Amino acid sequence: MGETLERRILVTGALGQIGMELLDALSSRYGADSILATDIRDSNKLESSGIKFHKLDVLNKEEIERIIQKFEINEVYHLAALLSASGENNPELCWKINMGGLVNICELSRNYKFRIFAPSSIAVFGSDVIGVANQNSPLNPATIYGITKVSGELLAEYYHATHDVDIRGLRYPGLISWKVMPGGGTTDYAVEIFHAAVSGNRYTCFVDEKTTLPMMYMDDAIRATIELMEAPSENLSVRGGYNLACLSFTAEELFQEIKMIIPEFDCDFEPDHRQRYADSWPDATDGKQAEIDWGFKIHYDLKSMCYTMIQSLRQ
Ligand code: NAD
Ligand code: SER
């Protein structure tokens, strides 16, 4: 890590599951006064943090440009998006926000030359990938969300190769965290189950017990994000989205691991429409390329992740 750049950072979609954690990490690393957090929702949650907040719709290109000029932004973490389950409920809106927002950010970077982080997802893969997805496995997603993520990866490669835009991306696995509830994804069950367990409630899981997906504890994901953004540009062989090493467990294994810590916890499995999205994704992702190019290694395993989640929620 560690290139010297005085960062003036814009975060879009900052009030979401990843944004609120990323803000904490960016603030500790670069200082709260170097960050402008934005979201389409209004909030006073950041008032005590010293981080500036501005309401911003990523479809409003003029307003993004005004902000980039005013704050002389040189790094954008573009997190605003609709996730898989919300996307399937409104495919047109999902396309509009996920693609429209990204094109606005890429176009502005052609002029203003800021570095971009634009996350991709395990949802780029489809059911033709069995078991472990490699960096170069086929990309045939079954959801509109996945289609926007594949298109976003292609856009990133295009803007980098043709317009010299310094854009970087990760294919995040399902992210497990305790500070903010997830926002309309398929992997949300792996967060909800902890909230139920710690509150003494029975949980009804919306995928079946055998469902296996790539997952990661949020601290590893945030570290991956910052390590990628600090990596020397010439080391990066992928611009659209790096696969990451991940955790891979069934919903039943997650339940049993939580039960080791909270023996009275109980869980039912009643799959709903989200089962289909989960079934179209791989069980795990191979993260060799990220390790070779910029040294990423995962730290949390299933046990330490469950322990940390429960301790944190109890506090
Ligand atoms: P989230 O739903 O928790 O947060 C997204 C934020 O974007 C919300 O606060 C929402 O208000 C905001 N937003 C929506 N429309 C907007 C608009 N038009 N303008 C500005 N803001 C808008 O999502 P997240 O989990 O924080 O995900 C962030 C990014 O990471 C997304 O691109 C998502 O696809 C990707 N990702 C997340 C996961 C995960 O498990 N959380 C996994 C893979 C990829
Ligand atoms: N966690 C995300 C979702 O379930 C995957 O990108 O939509």
Tell me if 131 sits within 8 A of 202, measured CB to CB: no
pLDDT tens readout for residues 30-85: 999 999 999 999 989 899 999 999 999 999 999 999 999 999 999 999 999 999 99
Determine if ligand 1 sits within 6 Å of the CB of residue 172: yes
Phi-psi region of 200 (alpha: psi -120 to 50; beta: other; left: phi over 0): left
The series of mean pLDDT values per 10 residues for the chain, 315 residues long, is 75 98 98 98 92 97 98 98 98 98 98 98 98 98 98 98 98 97 96 98 98 98 98 98 98 98 98 98 98 98 98 97
- In sequence order, the 6+-apart residues with CB closer than 8 A to the CB of 70 are none
CA of 168 to the centre of ligand 2 (A): 19
Taking the whole predicted model, whether its pTM rises above 0.95 is answered as yes
Least distant ligand from the CA of 16: 1
CA of 207 to the centre of ligand 2 (A): 14
Q: How far apart are CA 291 and CA 285, in angstroms?
A: 13
Structure tokens at 95: 């396309």
Pocket test for ligand 1, best of 59, 63, 79 (most atoms within 8 A of CB): 79
Tell me if 240 sits within 8 A of 201, measured CB to CB: no
Ligand 2: atom nearest CA of 186 is: 4
Residue type, 85: A
Atom 1 of ligand 2: nearest residue by CA position: 174
